[in-house]
Amino acid sequence: MGDTPAAPEPDGDGPIGVAALAEAVDEMLAVAAEAWRLTESELVKGIAALEAQAARLDAARLAFTAEVDRRGMAAGGSGATGTAAWLRGLLRLTPGEATGRVSLGSWLDGEGAVTKTALSDGALSARHASVICRTMARLHPAVDPETRAEAQGVLVDQARRLDPDQLARAARYLRHRLDPESGERLAREEDRQAERCDFTVSLDSDGGSHLRGYLDPVSTATLLSGLDPLSAPRPAAEGGYDTRSPGLRRAQALIQLVERAMAIPPDGPGALPSQRGARPRMVVTVPLATLLAELGIPALDQDGQAGVEPAVLATGQVVSARTAQQLACEAEILPVLLDEHGNPLDVGRTVYPFPDRIRRAIETRDQHCTFPHCQAPATWCHVHHLVPFSEGGSTSVTNGALVCGRHHRQVHSRGWWVK
């Protein structure tokens, strides 16, 4: 593919008024350079006024674009294949931006007169106008001109109160309401969206992962309905604000959903399907030397230096023995002991999380995280074995205590006891 043909350079300073506009912009930039001098009221009014003027400039720019297209100037020796390609050469736009400007400008110059007036008044932005333009283009052919005009007026009114994304949702609803075949058409569109669903987990070099994918509207609503209660801000120590970012809260909520699903007994309602006859479980391989070190028996490497190998997850990623012990409190762990040559010595007993009836009793007793000064609600807490399961501790009410995720990590990392 060759480069987009360059459009001719504009003559002189352009149309009458552009020079005056440039002077006005220079004056505004001088004010902006010393914006620290402005009062808060002046800043607020200035931002709103500049936004309105930017919309008005967009109206003028789109009007120029529509006139270029109407005259067919792209065919006048520039070598461009159309007005969009011509604009790309002149303004260094992406193909999508150039095509969008040509389509919007032409529509505003015709059917979109009402939208054009609102844009020229600064009442809505070019993005709002683009949403209205696309919506009108997608209206069912059976919609009569009078209804089309009324629909455009409704969208213009909505654009004065909604941002472009909110307007797009309202426009989609209006479009389906005006479509005599909306039910069947919407169902087919939903089928296509469901077939687009995709979810990819890419492992990173540090053992973490990056999630990427797409969910259809129903799946999105289902996921959010499960994440929202678990990702709500929670009070920190002594009633302070939750310092976690929204992204961190949602990530932790997603893991909680999985943990709760895996904790359902195999014969319980909603239990996960078995894998080759066994219930889904997390497998952590722990070298014998590592286990001995965790029990207080020093371990030496091949050079006689103190040190132990890490535990290994089923994904092949390594984790510390401390992390493996922490997981044993809530997740289902199947320890596999290996000798110094990597040969299996023994497969330990499966470790199950606290059953629901015991957890409910512990929640009733503790009410919240038992770490000093932490009031994290019971529903956000793990149940921690006071005496580790690996050391013979029982999965019972007397041997369990509520600990929030953050303090659970600290208990295992710093060897603290929960009373």
Rounded mean pLDDT, 83-111: 92
Which pairs count as long-range contacts for 344-348, CB under 8 Å and 24+ apart, including other chains? 345/288
pLDDT for res 411: 74
Best mean pLDDT range from 5-9, 79-83, 93-97, 381-385: 93-97
End-to-end CA distance of the chain: 71
For residue 346, give the 3-state DSSP assignment.
strand
Choice among 4-13, 26-35, 96-105 with the minimum mean pLDDT: 4-13
Cross-strand bridge partners of residue 285 = 312, 336
At 208, list the tokens. 């973490």
**Contacting residues for 6 by C-beta, under 8 A, at least 6 apart:** 78, 89, 90
Determine the pLDDT at residue 7: 46
pLDDT above 80 (res 169): yes
Q: Between the ranges 336-340, 373-377, 410-414, where is the mean pLDDT highest?
A: 373-377
Q: Report the number of secondary-structure helices (H) and strands (E) in the chain.
A: 15, 9
List of residues 6+ apart from 195 with CB closer than 8 A:
none
Residue 402 to residue 379: CA distance in whole angstroms: 9
Angle between helices 113-120 and 145-159 (to 10 degrees): 20
pLDDT per position as a tens digit, 303-316 = 544 556 777 776 77
